[in-house]
Chain A
Amino acid sequence: MHPSEIKNFNKLPRLKTSYIKAGILVSLLAYWGVILVGTFVTFN
C-alpha cells in the first residue's frame, strides 16, 4: 500500500468521530430550537 493511502486510511476513524460530534451538536441545536420556538409560540 502506498504511504499516502495509509495516511488516508488512518484519518477515517477521526473523520467518523467528527461526523458523530457534528451530528450530536446539530441534534442538540434542533432540540433547543424546538423547545424555544414552542415556548415562544405557546405564549403568543
Chain B
Amino acid sequence: MDVFLPIAQVFVNPIEILLLSAIVGVLSGLFGVGGGFLMTPFLIFLGIPPAYAVANEANNILATSVSGSTTHYLKNTLDYKMGLMIVIGGAIGTSLGIFTFSYFKGIGKIDTVISLAYMYILAIIGTLMLVESLREIDQAKRNVLLKKKAHVHYWIHGLPLRMRFPKSKLYESIFTPIIIGLIVGFIAAIMGIGGAFILVPAMIYIIKMPTKLVPGTSLFVTIFVSVIVTFLHSFNYGSIDLLLVLMLVIGSIIGVQIGQKLGERIDSSGLRALLAILLLVVGIAIAYDTFFAEQVQVKIQSSVNTELNFFSSFIIDFSKEMPFFYGLFTIMFAIILGVCAALIRRFASNLKSKIFIKS
C-alpha cells in the first residue's frame, strides 16, 4: 500500500521507509554515527527528490537529536558553553549553506550537487573507515600497541580570544569551536545531515574535550543546526513533509534503541569494516545514478490526477499560505516527538529496573 506525500509529490511505501529508517537507526546506535549520511541517499533511491530528502532528513535528525540530547541533559553530560560557541559558527555556516543551496537550485543543478556531495563524503568516510578498521584488525592480530602523542598542536590552537570552558576544563580560543561549527553548518544545510561525523572527531582531537561530554554536546549542537536548516528549508522552499518526517522519526528512534542495546552486547570494532564497505557501496550506487543511468526510474507521479485527502490538503495549504508558521510547526513537531521518545525511553528503563529489582 503506497502513501502519497503531499509536499514531495511522490508515492512511497510506508513500510519501506519505516524499515529503512529503523535499519539506519540500528547502525547509528551500534556504531555511534549519525544516520543522516545514509538515510538521505536511501530516500533518494526510494524516489524522493534530493532537495526534499535533504530537508526532511534534517527534520528527522532534529527529532532524534532532541531525544538523545534530553537523555544526556538528564545525565548532566553536556557542555553548554562550548556547544553555544559551536552553534554560533553553525548558524553562520548554515546561512552560507542555504545561500549556496539557493544558488544551485536557481541554476537547476541542486540535485547533481547533492548527489556529488554525498558520493564524495561517503567515499571519503568509507575509505578512511576501511583503512582504519583494517589497521586496527592488523594491530590486534600482531598485539601491537601504538604510542599516541598526548598533545598535538595545530595552527587552530594559536588563535586569539581565549576563553575558559569550566565543564570541559579547557582554555581555548573562541574561534576554534566557531570555525568547526561553520564547516558543520555549511555541510548540514546542503546535505541534510547532522554533521556528527565531523563534529565528534573535531571535538575529541582538535578541541580536546573530555570524551564523556562529546556525544551530548554534539547532539546539543545538532539540535540548533538542524532547527536552522529545517526552518530555512521549510520557509524558503516549503519542502518539509510532515507525513514523511513522522515515518522517519518512528523508524529511526526504534532503530537507535535496538542498535544501542546490540552495541552493549557485541564488539562493533570488527563490524566497522562492514559499515565502511556499506558506505562505499552506497557511494558507488549514487555515482551510478549520477553518471551512468540516463534517467533514474522513480515513482514520481503527478498530483494532478491524485485526489488529496483532508490531511494532505491541509499540509499543502498550511505550507503555502503560512510558510513562517509552517516552519515553526515542523520544528515543534520534531521537538515534541523527540522529547516524547526520550521520556518513553526513561519510563521503560525505570520500569525495567523496577521489575529487575523485584525479581
Contacts and interface: CB of A to CB of B under 8 A. Distances in A.
A3 B145 CA distance: 32
B116 A31 contact: no
B339 interface: no
B134 A31 contact: no
A42 B134 contact: no
Question: Looking at chain A, what size class is its interface with the partner chain?
Answer: 10 to 19
B253 interface: no
Contacts of A34: 284, 287
A34, A35, A41, A42: most-surrounded residue (chain B CB, <10 A): A35
Contacts of B280: 31
Nearest to B281: A31
Given A24-B134, A28-B130, A31-B280, A38 B123 contact: no
Contacts of A21: 134
A32 B116 contact: no
A20 B123 CA distance: 20
Contacts of A4: none
A10 interface: no
Chain A contact surface mostly: helix
A13 B303 CA distance: 61
Contacts, number: 31
Question: Looking at chain B, what size class is its interface with the partner chain?
Answer: 10 to 19
B318 interface: no
A35 B291 CA distance: 9
Interface in B249-296: 280, 283-284, 287, 290-292
B287 A35 contact: yes
A31 B130 CA distance: 13
A39 interface: yes
Contacts of B290: 38, 42
A32 B291 contact: no
A39 B118 CA distance: 13
Given A41-B291, A42-B290, A42-B291, A35 B120 contact: yes
B130 A38 contact: no
B20 interface: no
B284 A31 contact: yes
Nearest to A39: B116
Contacts of B127: 28, 31-32
A38 B291 contact: yes
Interface string A20-44: 0100100010011011001101100
Contacts of A38: 287, 290-292
A17 B292 CA distance: 34
A38 B130 CA distance: 22
Interface in A5-24: 17, 21, 24
A35 B130 contact: no
A35 B134 contact: no
A24 B225 CA distance: 37
27 contacts: A24-B130, A24-B134, A28-B127, A28-B130, A31-B123, A31-B127, A31-B280, A31-B283, A31-B284, A32-B123, A32-B127, A34-B284, A34-B287, A35-B119, A35-B123, A35-B283, A35-B284, A35-B287, A38-B287, A38-B290, A38-B291, A38-B292, A39-B116, A41-B291, A42-B112, A42-B290, A42-B291
Interface of B: 112, 116, 119-120, 123, 127, 130, 134, 138, 280, 283-284, 287, 290-292
